[in-house]
Amino acid sequence: MIVVANREPYIHEYVDGAIVVKRPASGLVTAVEPVMRACSGTWIAHGSGSADRATVDREDRVPVPPGEDAYLLRRIWLTDAEEQGYYYGFANEGMWPLCHVAHVRPVFRESDWQHYRAINQRFADAVVREARSDNPVILVQDYHFALLPAMIRERLPKATILTFWHIPWPNPESFGICPWRREILQGLLGSTILGFHTRFHCKNFIETVDRYLEARIEHEHSTITHGDKETFIESYPISIEWPSPATVAAWPSVTVCRQQVFGRFGLSADHCLGLGVDRFDYTKGILERLHAVERMLEKYPQWVGRFTFVQVAAPTRSALEEYRTFQQRIDGLSKRINERYGSGSYQPIRLLAEHHSHEALNRLYRAADVCVVTSLHDGMNLVCKEFVAARDDDLGVLILSRFAGAAREMAEALIVNPYHVEETADALHRALTMPVAEQRERMASLRVTVREFNVFRWAGRMLADAGRWRLRERIEARVQRHKDL
Ligand code: GDG
């Protein structure tokens, strides 16, 4: 199996002259990495770490995870100008805001598009070189590679190409402002299967193709035929790896986690802790969340001095002006709320704008009374699933945005509209006063859902569908051969 993703699952960095391995803050990596560990194969990605070149062999490959060597990581090198155009420019200033419709205007530059096309071609060439047969199974990941499926199809016509789009797909009007909408749709239709998190995103995609391309759409079978190529459009809600009993046994108890976290922030045992964990991104609704915390302290003053909100905000895309401005706004808002409601050592908002280890995040999940996910728009969102997986004590309350794909599966959370500050503030108060019995009932049910619909179910369904398509194609080829005789 070959996975193509922009982000690599393991980044080698120089720190004080020594090489350290870092796991990036990325929902895609969280979900796809366990699947690769189980299936083996090659993961092709941009080599972005300062020590990445020092750790690969002559073919730019390195076995990972370090010490386990379950699969190969093949690194692709980009110049600063290419990274600027393809990654920061077209992917993150164009496609990301275009698909999230979070009221940040997409930017489309001709030069970014040229880089995007060239880098997609470079990855396609690498796929062809890595393929060990003429019909490999290739998993193309995300909005960085919209052109890749058709480019691979041209060189490996028999390949099974499974493309998964990790972010939302907007309606045809919103998508229509992209100057290269036809090229992007044609690129994606090189896939055998094109997957989204929800039916709603599939429907938006099909309607977009209907609006801008000449194609035959079979709604009943959810297929699109463009030229002589048929693509199956399906929803595959992504998830996380459910922690094994051995993993859970190695975790510090909830009591110990709480003591450690409360000790770190100087909180008394009867204090209540709220938690947000995100990449520091404007789509995640961090601003709206902090406004809701402020409103809760205003509306329910009994929480002043008794409630602290910890926001982990892992640095991301800080090279972009939009992100730097956003991060400054959050910083300013946190300070203002702390000035308004803090006193002595009490600070209601603790903004931790740095990368955390998995262990540190897990400790926070286990220590929190409430986890708040208020994305303005999110393909799925895995933080809510990680919080649930971390709570083997069946306690803690999840507040979840209705605009995250996860809201469709996690109905036992307190579902909110993050744009409605009053509603989120009330949900916070409700979460903090929720009886233990109700917490247990909701959390136990959420845990059943996430355990059952874990990431292996996601990958398994997609690969099973791919298997059916391969079989069908083989049968059709055989029938054709007989006809030709
Ligand atoms: C995209 C889609 C979809 C966060 N801070 C740190 C850290 N994280 C980890 C979290 C979680 C991941 O990053 C974030 O996942 P999300 O799903 O919330 O979001 P995106 O990165 O935007 O992912 C999203 C996902 O793809 C999968 O399809 O759900 O909708 O936007 O795992 O724990 N990880 C580490 N340090 C941090 O400081 N190590």
Same domain as 439, residue 313: yes
416 Cα–ligand 1 center, Å: 20
Distance 210 CA to ligand 1 centre (A): 32
Co-location of 204 and 313 in the same domain: no
Helices (H), 101-145: 110-130
State percent of the chain over pLDDT 90: 96
Mean pLDDT, the chain, whole residue set:
97
Mean pLDDT calculated for residue range 225-247: 96
Looking at the domain assignment, is residue 50 inside a domain?
Answer: no
Q: How far lies 297's CA from each of 82, 87, 160, 271, 305, in Å?
A: 47, 40, 54, 14, 9
pLDDT at 484: 83
377 CA to centre of ligand 1 in angstroms: 14
pLDDT of amino acid 473: 85
3-state secondary structure of 405: helix
Return the best residue to mutate from 20, 30, 275, 387 for the ligand 1 pocket (most ligand atoms within 8 A of CB).
Answer: 30
Asked if the structure places residue 53 within a domain, the reply is: no
Mutational pocket test of ligand 1: of 277, 312, 377, 462, the residue with most ligand atoms within 8 Å of the beta carbon: 277
* Domain shared by 184 and 275, yes or no: no
pLDDT class of 402 with cuts at 50, 70, 90: very high
Q: 183 with 329, same domain?
A: no
Q: How far apart, in Å, do the first and last CA atoms of the chain sit? A: 34
Closest atom of ligand 1 to CA, residue 382 = 17
Q: Read off the pLDDT of each residue in 205-210 and give the average, rounded to a whole number.
A: 98
Ligand 1 centroid–CA 380 distance in Å is 10
Which residue's CA is the nearest one to ligand 1's atom 8? Answer: 25
Residue 461 placed within a domain? no
Q: Is 308 helix (H, G, I), strand (E, B) or coil?
A: strand
For residue 164, the ligand 1 atom closest to its alpha carbon is 28
Task: Give the CATH number, domain containing residue 431.
Answer: 3.40.50.2000
State yes or no: pLDDT of 485 exceeds 80. no
Among protein residues, the one whose CA lies closest to atom 14 of ligand 1? 27
With respect to residue 38, please indicate whether it lies within any of the assigned structural domains.
Answer: no
**Residue 176 alpha carbon to ligand 1 centre in Å:** 28
Same domain, 273 and 397: yes
Average pLDDT over residues 224-242: 96
Q: Which atom of ligand 1 is nearest to the CA of 373?
A: 18
- Are 298 and 198 contained in the same domain? no
What pLDDT does 478 receive?
Answer: 87
Helix count and strand count (H, E) for the chain = 17, 18
Q: Are 103 and 172 in the same domain?
A: yes
Same domain, 192 and 275: no
Give the model's pLDDT for residue 261.
Answer: 98
Residue 60 lies in a domain: no
pLDDT digits (tens, 9 = 90+) for 16-71: 999 999 999 999 999 999 999 999 999 999 999 999 999 999 999 999 999 999 99
- When pLDDT is averaged across residues 220-234 and rounded to a whole number, the result is 96
- The helix (run of H) or strand (run of E) holding residue 293 is helix 286-299
Q: Which of 210, 235, 260 is the last residue of a domain?
A: 235
Number of Cβ within a 10 Å radius of residue 63: 13
**pLDDT of res. 476:** 86
Give residue 26 CA to ligand 1 midpoint distance, Å: 4
- What is the pLDDT averaged over residues 214-224? 97
What is the helix (H) or strand (E) element at residue 351, kind and residue range?
A: strand 349-352
Tell me which residue has its CA closest to atom 11 in ligand 1: 27
Pocket test for ligand 1, best of 3, 8, 163, 166 (most atoms within 8 A of CB): 166
Mean pLDDT of 135-147: 97
Q: Is residue 206 included in any domain, yes or no?
A: yes
Residue pLDDT, tens place only, 245-267: 999 999 999 999 999 999 999 99
Q: How far is the CA of 353 from the centre of ligand 1 (A)?
A: 15
369-390: average pLDDT:
98
User: Is it the case that residue 477 has pLDDT exceeding 90?
Assistant: no
Nearest partner of 27 among 449, 455, 407, 362, judged by Cα: 455
Residue 91 CA to ligand 1 center (angstroms) comes to: 17
* Whether residue 263 sits in one domain with residue 214: no
Flag whether 477 is in a domain: no
pLDDT of residue 480: 86
Output the ligand 1 site: residues, CB below 6 A. 23, 25-28, 30-31, 166-167, 238, 277, 279, 312, 314, 355-356, 358, 361, 378-383, 386
Amino acid code (one letter) for 269: A
Confidence band, pLDDT 50/70/90 cuts, at residue 106: very high
Residues β-bridged to residue 11: 22
Residue 294 half-sphere exposure toward CB, CA atoms < 13 A:
16
* Confidence (pLDDT) at 95: 97
Give the DSSP H/E element, type plus range, for residue 175.
helix 172-175
Cα(24) to centroid of ligand 1, in Å? 9
pTM for this one?
0.96
Q: Which of 137-141, 365-369, 384-388, 479-483 has the least mean pLDDT?
A: 479-483
Asked if residue 211 and residue 290 are part of one domain, the reply reads no
* Per-residue pLDDT at 472: 87
From 235, 268, 297, the end of a domain falls on 235
What span, in angstroms and rounded, lies between the C-alpha atoms of 57 and 74? 10
Q: Last residue of a domain, which of 235, 268, 287?
A: 235
Which whole-number Å values give the CA distances from 30 to 9, 230, 381, in the listed order?
A: 8, 30, 11
CB 217 within 8 A of CB 175: no
- Do 252 and 213 have their domain in common? no
Whose CA is closest to atom 28 on ligand 1? Answer: 166
Is residue 433 in a domain? yes
Domain of residue 213 covers: 78-235
Write out pLDDT tens, residues 413-456: 999 999 999 999 999 999 999 999 999 999 999 999 999 999 99
pLDDT band at 100 (very low <50, low <70, confident <90, very high): very high
Would the pLDDT of 316 be above 90?
Answer: yes
Q: What's the structural domain count of the chain?
A: 2
**Helix/strand/coil for 132:** coil
Question: What mean pLDDT is predicted for residues 77-99?
Answer: 97
pLDDT at 175 over 80: yes
Lowest mean pLDDT among 133-137, 464-468, 478-482: 478-482
Q: What residues have CB less than 8 Å from 439, skipping those under 6 apart?
A: 394, 395, 396, 397
State whether 103 and 229 are in the same domain. Answer: yes
pLDDT on residue 57: 97
Q: How far is the CA of 338 from the centre of ligand 1 (A)?
A: 27
pLDDT value at 474 more than 90: no
The H or E element that residue 153 is part of is helix 148-155
